[in-house]
């Protein structure tokens, strides 16, 4: 850091990158990550199956040092712990390749944005099962995903309300 005559601080790009946690621009991303996700704990056998498929792919392609991330959480929940950690690592240009069994395993909605984000940060996104849908089919699938998400929230609120009512009745007696 240097100071001007008017006492302003001057920082180099390297100092700024270091301060905000970015790697040097000349460092190439090195991590290979395979990401598996299911929506609920009841689907854990599916999580194991996803991992087996990804492991078989990694072995077949001769990729070494692949880290596996397994997560249980909804695809519309963008606050998943491991998902956020993966996005942070991508933002710091630490991830070279992200391998997914299906594109909806990363996120149920807005996959293209996350794919673009990863690619602009030096990360190649590789999806094993590319399902080609017409624009109409894709829109219907997106709408069904959103309706399912909000109906699940509404159902959860009803259960919460019933529990509150039951505890209020028990407390009054």
Taking only the tens place, the pLDDT of each residue in 115-166 is 999 999 999 999 998 777 788 887 887 788 788 777 877 877 777 778 777 8
Whether 27 has a pLDDT exceeding 70, the answer reads: no
Mean pLDDT of all residues in 8-20: 84
Spatial strand order of the sheet with 66-72 comes to 66-72, 31-38, 95-100, 124-127
Which residues carry out catalysis?
39
Whether 44 has a pLDDT exceeding 70, the answer reads: yes
**Which ranges of the chain does DSSP label H, i.e. alpha helix?**
13-20, 44-61, 81-91, 111-120, 135-172
Specify the fold of 27-127.
Rossmann fold (3.40.50)
- Between 83 and 27, the higher pLDDT residue: 83
Q: What is the mean pLDDT of the chain?
A: 87
Q: What is the pLDDT of residue 42?
A: 92
- Exposed / middle / buried, residue 153 (Cβ in 10 Å: 0-12, 13-18, 19+): exposed
Measured between alpha carbons, how far is 13 from 96 in angstroms, rounded to an integer? 23
């Amino acid at each position: 850091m240097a100071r001007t005559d008017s006492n302003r601080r001057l920082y180099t790009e390297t100092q700024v990158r270091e301060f905000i946690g970015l790697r040097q621009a000349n460092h190439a991303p090195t991590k290979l990550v395979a990401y598996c996700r299911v929506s609920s704990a009841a689907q854990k056998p599916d999580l194991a199956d996803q991992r087996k498929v990804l492991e078989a792919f990694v072995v077949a392609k001769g990729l070494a040092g692949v880290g596996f991330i397994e997560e249980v959480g909804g695809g519309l929940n963008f606050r998943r712990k491991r998902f956020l950690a993966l996005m942070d690592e991508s933002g710091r240009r630490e991830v070279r390749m992200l391998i997914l069994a299906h594109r909806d395993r990363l996120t149920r909605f807005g996959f293209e944005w996350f794919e673009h984000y990863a690619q602009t940060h030096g990360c190649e996104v590789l999806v094993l099962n590319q399902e080609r849908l017409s624009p109409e089919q894709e829109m219907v699938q997106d709408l069904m995903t959103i309706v399912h998400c909000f109906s699940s929230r509404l159902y959860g609120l009803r259960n919460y309300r019933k529990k509150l009512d039951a505890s209020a009745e028990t407390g009054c007696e």
